[in-house]
Structure 1
Amino acid sequence: MMPLYSFTKGQILPLSIVFMLLTSILPSCNRKEEKIRPSFKPVLGMQFIEYRREFDNGLAFNEYGFQQEPAWKLYFLSEDSVMIYSPFEKKYYHYPIYHDHDSVFNIAREWLRLKQLNKDSLTFQLLSVDRKQVSRERSNVLMKFYSYRYLEEVLKKDPVFLRRPGPQDTLFIRSLVERANRNPANADSSFAARQPVQLVSTIKEIKVSKLGLEYDPNNLLNISSADTYLKPEYSITIDKAYKDFFHTFTVLVDQKGRFHVDTFITSPEFTASRRKVLEGIVDVYLQRFLQVVPGSTLGMPHTSQITFHVRGKK
């Protein structure tokens, strides 16, 4: 290769020659570093259904009781657009596909890395992105799809059956249930019930309503029912109470439907007296006049935490 410098008399090669040398080298280097964008062309028009959503350990649940639920149905119209089914509106909606880099796409306001694609199956990694930075720790969820053709002609299985939690999920939940029920008054041992606690008043003076998320038609795919079972809240009104009051506090509801006062906000010097007041309200009104169905996961009752907003009217 011709040297860039001529050491004879300290002469330098003309800039035009240097530029030609650089431009002949740099493109070949860039081609090695660039990764080709994955193509959706092999599956255009093919319908896929998500049959499994799981953490990278292969389980659909975590230790807090949060469940990854498969929900998407989709088909690609082109390299840059996709149709995704809304279970709320019961119809497909069009969404653009934005390619970021490598195999990372933004689809329906979710950041996804394409892991695998063929006419039978499709796998995305769900990415957690904050300020353009991907959190490796929280990007630990896989979305797995089968094509309808593969389900009908090869597997010959109903996707509803495939979407159910598997044997390993059941074993994991059973271990959490056993721990929670050994320590019914310990919040650290409890976990969120996939079927939350149910409360029904047995007298007209007490009214109970469960607070929850409202349907948002502008956010069809990102609505999650998770908060309604991870942090269930109940508004309770007691007529003809001993005095007017309002308290917000959490309780642990064990597998037998018993309430254990857990957390509340007060000054340190009033902790003991406030706990006594709350336990009195629970024992006199709530435990006596509420029919309680304890929370459960995969059909197994267990201790879970709920929040009460209790208003007394004299």
Structure 2
Amino acid sequence: MILLLAFTIIGAGCKRKGIVSHNGAKDLISFKSIQGITYTEVARRMKNGLSFNDYGYQLEPQWKMSFISDDSARIYSPIKKQLINFPLSRGYDSIFNTARAWLKVKKMSKDSLVIEILKYKDGLIDVTGAQVYMILYADNYIKNTLHSDSTILRRPGRKDSIFISKLVAKANSNYKAAFAARQPVQLISKSPMVKVEQRKTEPTMENNFDTSDDYLDPTFDIVINKAYRDFYYSFSIYVDDKGNMIYRIPLVAFMEEGFKATYIKESQDIMNTYLKYFFKIIPGSTLGMSHASIISIHIKGITAAPKTDKHTTTKGQ
């Protein structure tokens, strides 16, 4: 109740510019005219029309939704793979809240919706917006008017391709201009003694089903069995467009500079031996273009050989 009261006060104190009229209701938004229509998000863009930023972060279209009433929305859950009902709270100036998100309707029709994502922090809503826009088309409009499907419509456009090609050229001429690869670096073990696993983010309601960290900060856990000694190091690496590795920085804090220098030297040696000899490295790429990017490594060396199942038989037994 306190949050809703604060929301009402904020809305009432703002100048009502760009209010979307909904059958004469210019204050509290109404979804009666589009109730029951299922919309699919086909694009998510910044104010400049791009879906990528300088760091390689891509705004992905993810939502599929319909409005059941003025206080209830149905939104697709990628986890349960079905539409789930969520309560909806309406505010002034076409602002509403549902599924843990504050949103503002910019345009609304039976064929399409344009919705702005609002910033929310410490109990306050920034009504100036994050200048990120969701474009949704009605499923019927996609099928019967555009004669297309959401997979095709969600593909990045020419403007994104031109922008990314410029970032690629810059990163490949200077690896320190590396940016996040939409298809991250792949580390493929060439030895049964070496195990690698990339950390994966589980999509949940708490993170709004956002798994972008998996490509913004690709992180790998590596175990080296029968190593020359027991060790554990954490560091980040530049991987260029040819798959070459260049040491970047350690990922631990140090109390003494002497220990830091030793740690860097030893972890560099690990990179230049185990990683380079025991892994096939496929560079990261974005929109089909390979480029320099950064990965994080947590590598553990174990002197003992991996334990095997005593019931396992070998070929020929």
How do 1:159-178 residues align onto structure 2 when only pairs under 5 Å count?
Answer: 159-178=150-169
8 Å contact from structure 1 (residues 53, 144) kept in 2: yes
What residue number does 1:20 align with? none
Give the secondary structure class of the aligned counterpart of 1:179: helix
Aligned to 2:210: 224
Provide the C-alpha distance between the structure 1 equivalents of 2:234 and 2:201, rounded to a whole number of angstroms: 19
Kindly indicate whether residue 193 of structure 2 is the aligned counterpart of residue 205 of structure 1. Answer: yes
- Specify the alignment match of 2:276 in structure 1: 287
Question: How many Å apart are 1:157 and its aligned residue?
Answer: 2.3
Q: Which residue of 1 aligns with 2:88?
A: 97
The Cα shift of 1:215 comes to: 4.5
Q: TM-score by structure 1 length?
A: 0.83
Which of 287, 297, 316 is residue 308 of structure 1 equivalent to?
Answer: 297
Contact 1:108 1:221 in 2 (8 A): no
- Of the three residues 262, 280, 286, the one matched with 1:273 is 262
Determine helix, strand or coil for the equivalent of 2:53: coil
Over alpha carbons, which structure has the higher Rg? 1
CA distance in structure 2 between the partners assigned to 1:286 and 1:190 by the alignment: 20
Q: State the identity as a percent.
A: 40
Unaligned runs of 5+ in 1: 1-29
Give yes or no for contact 1:72–1:85 (8 Å, CA) kept in 2: yes
Q: C-alpha separation between the residues in 1 aligned to 2:120 and 2:259? A: 42
Partners of 2:116 and 2:129 within 8 A in 1 = no
Structure 1 distance, partners of 2:143, 2:209, is 30
SS of the equivalent of 1:155 reads coil
Q: Counterpart amino acid of 2:187? A: L
- The offset of 1:220, in angstroms, is 8.1
Q: Offset of 1:75 from its aligned partner? A: 1.3
Q: State TM-score, norm by structure 2.
A: 0.83
Displacement of 1:74 in angstroms is 1.2
Going from structure 1 to structure 2, the CA distance change for 1:263 and 1:137 (only over 3 Å counts) comes to farther
Q: Which amino acid aligns with 2:249?
A: T
Q: Is the Cα–Cα contact under 8 Å of residues 243 and 281 in structure 2 kept in the other structure?
A: yes
1:243–1:312 Cα contact (<8 Å) kept = yes
Contact 1:86 1:220 in 2 (8 A): no
Structure number with higher helix proportion: 1
Deviation at 1:137, TM superposition (A): 8.0
Shift of 1:101: 2.8
**Corresponding residue SS for 2:145:** helix
How many residue pairs end up in the alignment? 278
CA RMSD of aligned residues (A): 2.0
2:224 alignment partner AA: I
Distance 1:240 1:197, change over 3 A: same
Asked if the contact 1:48/1:146 (under 8 Å) is kept, the reply is yes
